[in-house]
């Protein structure tokens, strides 16, 4: 249908629209008009992706000068594919309505592993290996050698792309990963490099967060995206953690040992080269004397090693004399590695700031800050000069060089923690150096600064006001939309006590209490008896899951449970878990019914949907707080408190509640779906926890359902399930939660939308 959103003609590829989708479009349009950032929360299963795409595409068509590109960031490859499908639907609708080909090019980008079509390289399983082998076939020096000697293998697809691909741009259309591969096969061009090359002139780019947030990758891939773009981060409730991970480095003893080996390889290669062919080293040296940058341009295939974010003025400067020649640099690396080794030989935990580290390294091994800053860049230059084609061995050394560069570049927002052993196994020595980023705004700051509009959206972003604080930006629009429903199809309940009136809680003090564990067990058994098909349970940690299951086994609760449903457990092993999931789905499909025990923050809680019969009830046993004793977390909390005035408890509760909400949202994937949400902890009924749940859950969480015992909970569920089991058709929804064009344009509806806009 064709919509009029605040004066903008939007083509929407479906015949019906949800009212909240229309409101979402309105807010998004305002943000685009204002050229500012926005933060939008809309429940999962209400068609965020379609809404976003149709509005932004319409806006691009209407204002081709103001908005040139859409960069859509998603988390996983399946999600990327979903977005491409929606986009294809939209483009088909445009074609049908306008009756001609659309001049819009949309494509997905993923790693080499997912895009490679080279017959042998694409068989590799690990991403790093594929990257390394690709580099070995496409690096500029390999190709130069191939020109002189045909025996040196190169990648024919890359050669094809290099010869012709750049002159003939990709014709307009929508290309997902498979389409790109197909196109590449047909033309004989490498799809990966084709996609990367095409990014600069495509209208819509869909890729993973890391291509924009990880400074090491963003530098190469996303540098040339123009300012007049809109960037969308979908499923962004964990975006702060992604930012932090992309800037943090972890160094173990084993990694350092591997570094020493790679340094030895470097040494021998250099001495060999000195004897045979000194010219290349000379040339590199001359280049370094002049400055790093100028000779570095336009070598796209040599991207395997790149520098972490550096203020660009440093890159313009010449490399300091201490590390200019190859031998000196290798000796320098050796000193750095040996120094870190001595630091790892501690007996107790050390925490220090980058400034302290820099001073210590200067005193101990006479290394100044400036050459440290150039380490990453210098190493990549050296590896290029030495023409080392197998990069996989060097990744530990690259990690250390990134660490060196980061530690000397940033003095604020980072901390160094050296732990001689893990907290859980204090007798086993396993020293690890964490260089941990405390400030999530560092990694995302360039994105906010560079692009005119950044949209952060997810199903669960509550409490909204936390994100601007921790990401340090000022959104022009910050809204949470609820789901309009024709029937109360979610039933959130807080169960605080068992039938014996003993309070249920996962508090540390009562964790081991058998009464609490038994009550949890009884709750699950009774719910399993009352609820049909699938039930998903979330625990706060793997450890807690294991202790509870073992005591349930002793108390005979497992036996009772298996009378009603089959039991599956998520473990830390990914393969095991996916097997459990497959069988869980099988058991639900054939009507036997199943219970899945899993962990909040685990793989199941993020990104696996339990729609319809796969998840009729979700149980959250306890509040999923993070492991608060971790020193990295402590340091981050402290930093948040000092820099952003966020209290420790506020952040911990925020983090716990967003994960709880994420778990609860698993069972609700659309308006025809229905599910019970049970929060089994006394503490959930407190105002500070309850108010942090997303609005669409809070709306249905009545005061009468906030302090229930197991018995009451089961009674309410039974009544509700009977109500939900009644036939439900589209006609019931029409006019309330599903609108036709006429209904949308009716005066009454417009008034409602106005009201909602004001309320938000």
Q: Which residues bind other proteins (CB under 8 A)?
A: 253, 260, 289, 317-322, 324-325, 327-328, 331, 334-335, 338-339, 341-342, 344-345, 353, 355-356, 358-359, 362, 364-366, 368-370, 411, 429, 431, 641-642, 645, 647
| Beta carbons of 92 and 179 less than 8 angstroms apart | no
Residue whose CB is less far from other proteins, 146 or 335:
335
Residue whose CB is less far from other proteins, 15 or 294:
294
Q: In whole angstroms, how close is the CB of 467 to other proteins at the nearest point?
A: 18
Q: In whole angstroms, how close is the CB of 44 to other proteins at the nearest point?
A: 31
Q: In whole angstroms, how close is the CB of 323 to other proteins at the nearest point?
A: 8
Rounded Cα–Cα distance for residues 322 and 152 (Å): 36
| Beta carbons of 743 and 734 less than 8 angstroms apart | yes
Exposure string for 439-472, b = 16+ CB within 10 A, e = fewer: bbbbbbbbbbebbbbbbbbbbbbbbbebbbbbbb
Q: In whole angstroms, how close is the CB of 335 to other proteins at the nearest point?
A: 6
Q: In whole angstroms, how close is the CB of 373 to other proteins at the nearest point?
A: 11
Q: In whole angstroms, how close is the CB of 38 to other proteins at the nearest point?
A: 25
- Counting DSSP H helices and E strands in the chain, the numbers are 34, 21
Tokens 């349009």 belong to residue: 29
Residue whose CB is less far from other proteins, 300 or 368:
368
Run of H or E residues at 597: strand 594-599
Residue whose CB is less far from other proteins, 123 or 362:
362
Residue whose CB is less far from other proteins, 166 or 362:
362
List the strands of the sheet with 249-252, edge to edge: 249-252, 429-437, 414-421, 350-352
Q: In whole angstroms, how close is the CB of 693 to other proteins at the nearest point?
A: 20
Residue whose CB is less far from other proteins, 387 or 648:
648
Secondary structure (DSSP) of 466-529: HHHHHHT---SEEEE-----SS--EEEEEEEE-TT-PBP---TTTTT-HHHHHHHHHHHHHHHH
Minimal CA–CA distance to 666: which of 678, 655, 681? 678
Q: In whole angstroms, how close is the CB of 655 to other proteins at the nearest point?
A: 18
Q: In whole angstroms, how close is the CB of 365 to other proteins at the nearest point?
A: 5
Rounded Cα–Cα distance for residues 703 and 705 (Å): 5
Minimal CA–CA distance to 158: which of 182, 134, 132? 134
Minimal CA–CA distance to 51: which of 77, 84, 82, 26? 26
Residue 481: both structure tokens together: 């939309």
Q: In whole angstroms, how close is the CB of 656 to other proteins at the nearest point?
A: 19
> How much of the chain is in helix, strand and coil states, percent to nearest 5?
55, 15, 30
Residue whose CB is less far from other proteins, 342 or 750:
342
Residue whose CB is less far from other proteins, 331 or 734:
331
Residue whose CB is less far from other proteins, 85 or 316:
316
Residue whose CB is less far from other proteins, 288 or 557:
288
* Contacting residues for 306 by C-beta, under 8 A, at least 6 apart: 216, 217, 219, 220, 376, 380
| Beta carbons of 230 and 60 less than 8 angstroms apart | no
Rounded Cα–Cα distance for residues 483 and 42 (Å): 8
Q: In whole angstroms, how close is the CB of 683 to other proteins at the nearest point?
A: 18
| Beta carbons of 301 and 140 less than 8 angstroms apart | yes
Q: Are strands 534-539 and 617-621 parallel, antiparallel or unpaired?
A: parallel
Q: In whole angstroms, how close is the CB of 318 to other proteins at the nearest point?
A: 6
Q: In whole angstroms, how close is the CB of 412 to other proteins at the nearest point?
A: 9
Residue whose CB is less far from other proteins, 76 or 353:
353
What's the farthest any 2 CA atoms get from each other in the chain? 86
Q: In whole angstroms, how close is the CB of 339 to other proteins at the nearest point?
A: 8
Rounded Cα–Cα distance for residues 8 and 522 (Å): 56
Rounded Cα–Cα distance for residues 171 and 532 (Å): 51
* Contacting residues for 325 by C-beta, under 8 A, at least 6 apart: 281, 285
| Beta carbons of 601 and 624 less than 8 angstroms apart | yes
Run of H or E residues at 749: helix 747-759
Residue whose CB is less far from other proteins, 431 or 624:
431
Residue whose CB is less far from other proteins, 358 or 548:
358
Residue whose CB is less far from other proteins, 303 or 358:
358
| Beta carbons of 618 and 677 less than 8 angstroms apart | yes
């Amino acid at each position: 249908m064709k919509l009029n959103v605040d004066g903008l003609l939007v083509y929407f590829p479906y015949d019906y629209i949800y009212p909240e989708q229309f409101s979402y479009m309105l807010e998004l349009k305002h943000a685009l008009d204002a050229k500012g950032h926005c933060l939008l929360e809309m429940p999962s299963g209400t068609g965020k992706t379609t809404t976003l795409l149709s509005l932004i595409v319409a806006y691009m068509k209407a204002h081709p000068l103001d908005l040139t590109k859409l960069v859509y960031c998603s988390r996983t490859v399946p999600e990327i594919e979903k977005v491409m499908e929606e986009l294809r639907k939209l483009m088909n609708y445009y074609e049908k309505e306008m009756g001609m080909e659309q001049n819009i090019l949309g494509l997905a980008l993923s790693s080499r592993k997912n895009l490679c079509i080279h017959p042998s390289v694409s068989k590799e399983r690990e991403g790093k290996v594929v990257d390394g082998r690709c580099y070995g076939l496409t690096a500029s020096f390999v190709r130069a050698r191939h020109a002189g000697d045909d025996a040196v293998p190169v990648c024919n697809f890359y050669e094809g792309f290099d010869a012709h691909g750049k002159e003939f741009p990709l014709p307009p259309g929508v290309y997902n990963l498979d389409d790109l591969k197909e196109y590449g096969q047909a033309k004989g061009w490498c799809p990966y490099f084709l996609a990367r090359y095409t990014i600069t002139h495509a209208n819509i780019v869909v890729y993973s967060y890391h291509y924009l947030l990880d400074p090491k990758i963003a530098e190469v891939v996303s540098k040339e995206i123009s300012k007049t773009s809109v960037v969308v981060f979908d499923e962004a409730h964990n975006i702060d953690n992604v930012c932090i991970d992309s800037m943090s480095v972890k160094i173990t003893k084993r990694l350092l040992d591997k570094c020493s080996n790679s340094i030895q390889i470097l040494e021998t290669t250099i001495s060999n080269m000195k004897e045979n062919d000194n010219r290349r080293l000379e040339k590199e040296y001359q280049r370094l004397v002049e400055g790093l940058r100028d000779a570095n341009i336009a070598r796209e295939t040599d991207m395997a090693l790149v520098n972490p974010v550096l203020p660009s003025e440093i890159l313009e400067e010449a490399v300091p004399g201490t590390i200019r020649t190859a031998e000196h640099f290798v000796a320098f690396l050796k000193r750095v590695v040996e120094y870190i080794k001595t630091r790892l030989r501690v007996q107790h935990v050390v925490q220090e700031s980058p400034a302290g580290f820099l001073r210590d390294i200067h005193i101990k091994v006479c290394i100044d800050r400036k050459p440290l800053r150039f380490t990453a860049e210098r190493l990549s230059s050296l590896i290029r000069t030495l023409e080392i084609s197998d990069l996989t061995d060097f990744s530990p050394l690259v990690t250390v060089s990134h660490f060196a560069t980061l530690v000397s570049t940033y003095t604020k927002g980072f901390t160094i923690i050296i732990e001689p052993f893990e907290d859980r196994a204090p007798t086993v020595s396993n020293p690890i150096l964490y260089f941990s980023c405390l400030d999530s705004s560092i990694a995302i700051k360039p994105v906010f600064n560079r692009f005119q509009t950044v949209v952060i959206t997810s199903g669960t972003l509550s409490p909204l006001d936390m994100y601007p604080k921790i990401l340090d930006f000022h959104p022009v629009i910050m809204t949470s939309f609820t789901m309009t429903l024709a029937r109360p199809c979610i039933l959130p309940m807080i169960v605080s006590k068992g039938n014996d009136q003993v309070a249920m809680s996962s508090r540390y003090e009562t964790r081991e209490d058998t009464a609490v564990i038994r009550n949890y067990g009884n709750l699950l058994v009774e719910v399993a008896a009352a609820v049909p098909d699938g039930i998903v349970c979330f625990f706060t940690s793997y450890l807690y899951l294991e202790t509870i299951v073992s005591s349930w086994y002793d108390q005979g609760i497992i036996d009772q449970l298996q009378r009603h449903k089959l039991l599956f457990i998520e473990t830390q092993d990914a393969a095991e878990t996916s097997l459990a999931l497959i069988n869980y789905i099988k058991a639900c499909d054939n009507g036997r019914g199943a219970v899945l025990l899993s962990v909040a923050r685990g793989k199941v809680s993020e990104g696996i949907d339990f729609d319809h019969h796969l998840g009729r009830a979700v149980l959250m046993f306890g509040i999923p707080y993070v492991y608060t004793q971790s020193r990295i977390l402590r340091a981050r909390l402290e930093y948040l408190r000092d820099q952003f005035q966020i209290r420790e408890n506020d952040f911990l509760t925020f983090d716990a509640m967003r994960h709880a909400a994420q778990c609860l949202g698993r069972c609700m994937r659309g308006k025809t779906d229905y599910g019970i949400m049970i929060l089994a902890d006394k503490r959930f009924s407190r105002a500070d926890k309850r108010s942090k749940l997303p609005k669409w859950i809070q709306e249905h969480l009545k005061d009468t359902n906030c302090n229930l015992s197991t018995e009451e909970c089961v009674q309410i569920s039974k009544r509700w399930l009977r109500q939900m089991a009644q036939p439900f058709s589209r006609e019931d929804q029409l006019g309330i939660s599903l609108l036709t064009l006429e209904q949308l344009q009716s005066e009454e509806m417009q008034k409602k939308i106005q009201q909602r806009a004001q309320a938000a």
